[in-house]
A = this chain, B = another copy of it.
Amino acid sequence: MSDLLGRLRERGWRLTAQRRVVAEVLDGDHVHLTADEVHARAAERLPEISRATVYNTLRELVHRGEVLEVSTDGRAKRYDPNARHPHHHLLCARCGSIRDVHPTGDPLSDLPASQSFGFTVLEVEVTYRGICPDCAA
C-alpha cells in the first residue's frame, strides 16, 4: 500500500476522511478482511462511517487495482491490499481463514489455447482448500 493515497490523489481521487481510514485499515501484509471487518475497524477511528461507504471505497480500490478481492465460497469476500505481489490462497473450509501461498509455476501458461473456447482469458486464481490448525484441534 505504501503511498496509496498519494497515487490515488494524482488520479483525481477526492480525499475524504472515510477513504483515508479505509486505506489505513487495509495497510499491511497478509491482511484479508471482510467488508464488515473493515467497517468495524474503520468505525473505531471514525464512528459515523457507513457500511455503504466502505463498500463503495472497497469497490473502487479493487477497480483501480490497489486491492484484491478474494472470493471464499459462500462466505463474505475478503479484501487483500497485497495486490502488487501476485500470490494465491490457502482457505480453511471450516472457519474461512486465509493464508497467502506463493506460486511455483504459472497456471496461466498451463492453459492450452485449444482449451480457451474463444474466451479472452484475463487471470487465473488458485485456491487451496483444507483445514487450518485451529479447526483441526
Residues of A at the B interface (CB closer than 8 Å) are: 71, 73-74, 77, 90, 92-93, 99, 101-105, 107-108, 110-112, 115-133, 136
A119, B125: Cβ atoms closer than 8 Å: no
Q: How far is the CB of A75 from chain B (nearest CB, A)?
A: 10
In chain B, what residue has the closest Cβ to A92?
Answer: B119
> If A77-B74, A105-B110, A123-B129 touch, does A115 touch B90 (CB 8 Å cutoff)?
yes
On chain B, the residues within 8 Å of A118 by CB distance are: 132-133, 136
On chain B, the residues within 8 Å of A93 by CB distance are: 122
Q: Select the residue from A112, A121, A126 with max chain B CB neighbours within 10 A.
A: A126
In chain B, what residue has the closest Cβ to A73?
Answer: B71
